[in-house]
Amino acid sequence: MNGPESQANQTGSAASPGVPPAFLRIANVLFLVVTGTLFLWFLYSHRSDWTRLLLEGDPTLLLSAFVLTTCFQFVQAYLIAGVLRALGASTPYLETMRLILVSLLGKYIPGKVWIFAMRSSFFAARNVPVRTVLTAASIEHIYVILTAAILYLAVGPPIIPLVERFAPYGAALLVMTLIFSPGLVIRFVNVILVKLGRGTVDARLSRGRSTAFTMQFLLSWLILGTGVGLLAISLFPSFGWADFPALAGAYALSVVGGFLVLIAPGGIGVREGLFALLLGSRLAPGDALFLALAARIMTSIAEILAIGLIQLLSHRHSIDT
């Protein structure tokens, strides 16, 4: 990007950086309390599923799957922090990642707007303009959604068999669009910002930067997909290493599908249903749904663990400095 930070502040109105209002701080705390309560309720209500997961799964494969899923949380935060810093945010990488991981819990509020609200308030307190945060978040979500679609179209199991032969061409078209026409991404960002009442940005996204974002977010989906693949093998030996690409593509599409259904907190129900549907040709409906629930349990615990670890790292870093 060429000077996006200065350009972003030239068009439209941006909120003045500073300490967020007290009511927003209180709302953030209450949100975290509610999210924690819902997480505990989710684990309790699905205690038979995670008990079965621990009893039937291969311990080594389960541990490996969990480690990879936790790594995905850090990789995701690192990539999102890179987008934000590319727009001019000067907060330290570790602090930026910490704030991003916490803000991603906002997906559990229907409408998903709390992701943007929390992130904006967190970074406004650190002198990062709201416009910069919203621009970065818009770019991030475009790449997350489109790279998930690319991975699914390239290697995922088809929902409609008739379009299976055309899916790889769709994946190639999306890749070429992101690499050779990155200006379309900025146009989409401006549409989002206008709807949010933030005007437009006069920024340019280079082909090199867009290519890097595309490859990096694809890699992050593959990391998560490998974790889900190890989980699948640990529970159902009928799966093999050759099934990993299809599992990665199916799970990436399921995660994005759950996110796009705005009324579903965290995509709960939608993600599991779509993933189970895509696994229908390999597993009985009950087993497919159990694997989908097991993946949700694993990723949810990984989210909480990643936040706890980065909080600890941030605390130790602040003491050392």
Please give the backbone phi and psi of residue 217, each rounded to the nearest 5 degrees, phi first.
-70, -30
pTM, two decimals, is 0.87
Q: Is 220 left (phi over 0), alpha (psi -120 to 50) or beta?
A: alpha
How confident is the model at residue 15, as a pLDDT?
39
Q: Residue 262, Cα to own-chain centre: how many angstroms? A: 14
Rounded distance between C-alpha atoms, residue 261 and residue 268, angstroms = 10
Q: What is the pLDDT of residues 35-80, one digit of tens each?
A: 777 777 877 787 888 888 888 889 999 999 999 999 999 999 999 9
Task: Tell me the HSE value of 99 on the side-chain side, using a 13 A CA sphere.
Answer: 24
Q: What is the pLDDT of residues 70-90, one digit of tens each?
A: 999 999 999 999 999 888 888
